[in-house]
Amino acid sequence: MDDDSIGGWEYYTETHHVMVVVVRLPTPCPEMRVEARGMGSRVARTLGRRDPAALGHDAFDRAFRIRSADPATGRRLLTRRLVEAHLARRVPLWSVRGIDLVATWTGKVDPDTIPSRVDRLLTVAALLRR
């Protein structure tokens, strides 16, 4: 029996590095998230599939997708300045649930990047319409 097997089963470990930043909002927001469009979503959109959560801002809708139980949520919460910040890549992808605004970054955590990542999420918080 090898050191990494028990009773005929082999076990492997894999490490994933993730930084999670949470900003507490002063008032709750409906649950939603902004994510980058994947290839399938971009192709479906190109083929004319309508996205009920689309903002109606062509450049934003091509690059990003809003996930929410209520399609009007994104149109209500995302201000023009927040849309522009997303398009300029000045803010991270994020999600909100109640008063928790969350962004994640994958990769080894570099302590020197923490302040700028917190600042970027604070920018989202400041630009959200509540």
Tokens of 66: 């809003």
Q: What is the pLDDT at residue 74?
A: 83
Task: Please tell me the distance from the alpha carbon of residue 21 to that of residue 118, in angstroms, as a whole number.
Answer: 7
pLDDT tens for the chain, residues 1 to 130: 445 566 678 878 898 899 999 999 999 999 999 999 876 555 555 656 666 668 888 899 989 999 998 888 888 899 999 999 999 999 999 999 999 999 999 999 999 999 999 999 999 999 998 7
In a domain, 98, yes or no: yes
In a domain, 109, yes or no: yes
For 67, the domain range is 15-127
Output the pTM of the full model: 0.80
In a domain, 21, yes or no: yes
In a domain, 4, yes or no: no
Q: What is the pLDDT at residue 55?
A: 83
Q: What is the pLDDT at residue 57?
A: 86
In a domain, 53, yes or no: yes
- Nearest partner of 55 among 26, 22, 84, judged by Cα: 84
Say how many domains are in the chain.
1
**80-87 and 114-127 are packed helices; what angle lies between their axes, rounded to 10 degrees?**
150
Question: What are the C-alpha distances in Å from 32 to residues 9, 66, 92, 109, 122?
Answer: 40, 7, 14, 26, 17
Task: Please tell me the distance from the alpha carbon of residue 126 to that of residue 94, in angstroms, as a whole number.
Answer: 13
Sign of CA dihedral 37, 41, 45, 51: negative
